[in-house]
Structure 1
Amino acid sequence: MFTGIVQGIAQVAEITDKEGLRSFTLEFPPGFCQDLEIGASVACDGVCLTVTALKGDTRADFDVMQQSLNLTTLGQLRPGSRINVERAAKDGAEIGGHPLSGHVDFMATVEGIRRPANNHVIRIAVPAPWMRYIFPKGYIAVNGASLTVAEAGRNADGSGWFEVWLIPETLRMTTFGDKDEGAPVHIEIERQTQVMVDTVRDAVAERLGTLMPALRQFAKERGLDLGE
């Protein structure tokens, strides 16, 4: 488990392609690797990876299988790329953000960036059907960082957008300042919200039963979206 509080920025030092996977050597900030062991988990831009080798005081290797390369931005990393990193939380650790599994749900896209005084606002476009789990003032994990949704908008097809406001300290400790419009990002939704939304949707579907086709037709004729 992770807390969503990014502990530093790592840089890709080396990449080695092997049959069915790719091995990354990451260079970490000083002190990050203290007591780190082979087999330990590290969230890399929100993706939980396992340490496969230790190289000195600041470097470690990670193997990423082909499916993970295809489903995340890890396959786009090159030597010199920078990523957010966090070590797995220990028992009793303070949860400064919210509990994360390190399992990315989907990739989204930076749709817009605004820079009001001493702030950095990122608008992120969300594909359908994931917008159903995102609400203003709720938690969201973007590239492994626990953030609060400031504003959100929904489209009739189940897609939408949300905005997060970042203070200078967050920009200093993460790679968000590197992101431009069009950049892909990893999203992990908040699990309690997902469970609650899915439970309510299933309960409503079960209670309505055979009435659903008629209700869908009724809604369609009036330009309404039952999913929303």
Structure 2
Amino acid sequence: MFTGIVEELGEIVATERLTDAARFTIRGKLVTSDAGHGDSIAVNGVCLTVVDVVDGDSFTVDVMGETLAHSSLGDLESGARVNLERAAALNSRLGGHLVQGHVDGTGAVLARTPSENWEVVRISLPDEIARYVVHKGSITVDGISLTVSDLGRDEAGQDWFEVSLIPTTLTLTNLASATVGTTVNLEVDVIAKYVERLQQRS
């Protein structure tokens, strides 16, 4: 379990493409400082398992084909910057919201609108998860816990939502460099999915 509060902006330092999977080596000094084999680290919002710790500042992870196909991790190459977060400890503060690291779908950055003190980013919303997203609700974008500031549907029937990024988010996460067209991982609030499931069974 994670909170969506990015701890570190890491870097993909090596990629190995396998038949139906991939192995990434990721540099992140902070998240690696107490990492060991089997620990969970969220990489752009995807919960991955540490295989090895390398040189004290990097770790390797194996990513299966299913994850590569249904998240933005399949597009990662050496040099890419990624958002990193260690699994939450039971005695830590919940600064964001409950995040599982299970990507529900991907969206694309549609527009960026800068202002003096923040920047509004509009992202496309897949049909299959649009019903879980509400105004002022929580959503995870590439592992970042954010608040939905607006949402709607364009003339072509494409759902979208907007988030407002403060300077800290722009400085400490990869959303600062996410240009129009960039694919991002989305995870909706798990509570909404549980409520829907309970209603279906009642």
| TM-score, with length taken from structure 1 | 0.83
Identical-residue share of aligned pairs (%): 36
Show the 5 A alignment for 1:14-33: 14-28=14-28, 30-33=29-32
Matched residue, 2:184:
185
1:32 Cα deviation from its structure 2 partner: 2.6
Determine whether 1:48 maps to 2:47: yes
Matched residue, 2:4:
4
Matched residue, 1:217:
none
1:31 Cα deviation from its structure 2 partner: 3.0
Give, as a single letter, the amino acid of the residue that structure 1 aligns with 2:24: F
Q: List gaps (5 residues or longer) in structure 2.
A: none
2-structure distance, mates of 1:154, 1:136 = 13
- Structure number, greater radius of gyration: 1
Show the 5 A alignment for 1:138-157: 138-154=137-153
SS at match of 1:78: coil
1:174 Cα deviation from its structure 2 partner: 0.3
Give, as a single letter, the amino acid of the residue that structure 2 aligns with 1:17: R
Aligned length: 202
RMSD in angstroms over aligned alpha carbons? 1.9
Determine whether 1:96 maps to 2:84: no
Give, as a single letter, the amino acid of the residue that structure 2 aligns with 1:98: H
2-structure distance, mates of 1:22, 1:150 = 36
Contact 1:132 1:158 in 2 (8 A): no
Contact 2:8 2:30 in 1 (8 A): no
Matched residue, 2:110:
111
1-structure distance, mates of 2:126, 2:151 = 13
Which aligned runs of 4 or more in structure 1 are off by greater than 3 angstroms? 154-159, 197-200
Show the 5 A alignment for 1:146-225: 146-154=145-153, 159-200=158-199, 202=200
Give, as a single letter, the amino acid of the residue that structure 1 aligns with 2:150: E
Instruction: Report which stretch shifted further, 14-23 or 144-153.
Output: 14-23
Give, as a single letter, the amino acid of the residue that structure 2 aligns with 1:52: V
2-structure distance, mates of 1:43, 1:144 = 7
1:91 Cα deviation from its structure 2 partner: 1.4
SS at match of 2:139: strand
2-structure distance, mates of 1:102, 1:158 = 28
2-structure distance, mates of 1:83, 1:62 = 13
Point out the structure with the larger strand share: 2
Contact 2:112 2:120 in 1 (8 A): yes
Give, as a single letter, the amino acid of the residue that structure 1 aligns with 2:39: A
SS at match of 1:149: strand
1-structure distance, mates of 2:128, 2:197 = 12
Distance 1:61 1:13, change over 3 A: same
Instruction: Specify which structure has the bigger relative contact order, considering alpha-carbon pairs within 8 angstroms and separated by 6 or more residues.
Output: 2
SS at match of 2:168: helix
| TM-score, with length taken from structure 2 | 0.94
Contact 2:37 2:52 in 1 (8 A): yes
1:175 Cα deviation from its structure 2 partner: 0.4
Q: List gaps (5 residues or longer) in structure 1.
A: 207-228
1-structure distance, mates of 2:30, 2:174 = 19
Contact 2:25 2:61 in 1 (8 A): yes
Give, as a single letter, the amino acid of the residue that structure 1 aligns with 2:124: A
1-structure distance, mates of 2:19, 2:128 = 34
1:160 Cα deviation from its structure 2 partner: 1.0
